[in-house]
Structure 1
Amino acid sequence: MEELNIGKKIQDFRNASNTSVRELSKKSGITASMLSQIERGLVNPSINTLRSIANTLDVPLFYFFKEDAEKEELVVRKNNRKTIGFPNQSDVRYDLLVPNTLGTIEFCMMEIPNSSKSVEEAESHKGEEVAYVIEGRVDIIVAGLRYTLDEGDSIRIPPMTDHKWENIDTKLAKVIFAVTPPSF
């Protein structure tokens, strides 16, 4: 089994939060020398020590045990996107712009052919959504109100708010959107 290198992960999270060893020591109740030894891999911390560090850095405890990011699939090539959604229900196409839907955010591109709509009846989902029109002109009906968005416009759709997209223009519309948590 490959070594987890928990000390390095602690150091990376500490640095990412712009926290010094002394600050982490003071807030977590763990001596600075002990933290230094943990980060250098000289000492293996107990679960209670890890829990205290995780709470102080506001990082879920399991992050210290996750595989390194470079082992995860991170890049999606433009010719290798996954199509998601409901291809048989409408002409609208949804391409996933992240490797999968296992993360805490979903990032997609929606292509709406002219005279098409995302769904017949407005629907909602639990995630908050933000969308940006990269090409064309599209209408979106949010909570019964119609908004026309042109190329370069964006919109925030609150969680659990009924909405649907309509392309009433003569050309294809492309919209990039992010949803957290993922809804597909």
Structure 2
Amino acid sequence: MTDTAFRQDPHKVRDRREKNLEVAIGREVRAFRHQQDMTVAELSEKTGLSMGMLSKIENGNISPSLNTLQVLAGALSVPLTAFFRRFEERREAVHVKNGEAVEIHRAGTRAGHQYNLLGHIGSNSSGVVVEPYLITLSETSDVFPTFQHDGIELLYMLEGEVRYRHGDRLYDLAPGDSFFFDADAPHGPEELTRLPARFLSIIAYPQSS
């Protein structure tokens, strides 16, 4: 198969970008209208645009003219550029190939406890930081640490069995089980029932934390 088979049609790329822009503008128009507790009918009366036209704009079905956007900006008391702010924001993504996850040391890490960070995006528009880990426990230990931190955490068991503590309760986790909890309570593996044990740990917390 030649490289040309993978090349994107520039016209299709441009069409997708234009469609994404229309959707982004529509979302902003709707968001500003909601912020002002304004109905579509009220915005229609204020701008002179039909309700059908406003509905198409908010749903990203049409590309509004510059004049239309100026009218909407005036009616909603926002600068014209406000309609484009999310479209122009940089969107980050992290792709980690098999075997290339970064091994890190967290509090309580010891021999036989391996933590691989699967990706990290720092500052973003959501206001939330998410840290996904692949954790492998391959050796028994007499003492297990408990963790406490801001946010919430999701565990998904892939292999092995673990008795997991959260606060004053214990949960038996087996492959296919998930465990979603408030991470501010003391938590951690209490007993490794069947080794090796592997599970995904996804932690989410506010950026300010």
Normalising by structure 2, we get a TM-score of 0.57
| Residues 174/26 of structure 1: CA separation in 2 closer, same or farther (3 Å cut) | same
Please give the residue correspondences for 1:53-132 in structure 2 after superposition, counting only pairs within 5 Å. 63-67=86-90, 69=91, 72-86=92-106, 89-91=109-111, 92-98=113-119, 100-102=120-122, 104=128, 105-116=130-141, 120-132=144-156
Does residue 48 of the first structure (1) align with residue 60 of the second (2)? no
Q: Does residue 177 of structure 1 match 2:197?
A: no
Is the partner of 2:164 in helix, strand or coil? strand
CA shift, 1:156, in A, is 1.4
Q: Secondary structure at the match of 2:193?
A: coil
What's the CA shift for 1:168? 2.3
Structure 2 unmatched ranges of 5 or more: 1-16
TM-score when normalising by structure 1 = 0.63
Paired residue secondary structure (1:108): strand
Pick which of 160-169 and 126-135 moved more: 160-169
Which of structures 1 and 2 has the larger relative contact order (alpha carbons within 8 angstroms, sep 6+)?
Answer: 1
Code of the aligned partner of 2:154: V
CA displacement, residues 76-122 of structure 1 (integer Å, 9 cap, x when unaligned): 21132122342884132222223x242632222111123148x8442
Query: Which range moves more in the overlay, 83-92 or 138-147?
Result: 83-92
Of 141-150 and 126-135, more deviation after overlay is shown by: 141-150
Counterpart CA distance in 2 for 1:87 and 1:160 is: 15
> Structure 1 unaligned runs (5+)?
54-60
- What RMSD in Å do the two structures reach over aligned CA positions? 4.3
Whether 1:26 and 2:40 are equivalent positions in the alignment is yes
- Residue number in structure 2 paired with 1:136: 160
1:9: Cα distance to partner?
3.6
Residues in 2 aligned to 1:52 and 1:75: alpha-carbon distance in whole angstroms: 31
Q: Flag the 1:113–1:62 CA change in 2: closer, same or farther, 3 A.
A: farther
Q: Is contact 1:87–1:93 with CA below 8 Å preserved after alignment?
A: no
Cα gap change, 1:40 to 1:157, in 2 (>3 Å):
same
What is the alpha-carbon distance in structure 1 between the residues aligned to residue 159 and residue 64 of structure 2? 51
Q: Once the two structures are aligned, what percentage of the paired residues are identical? A: 17
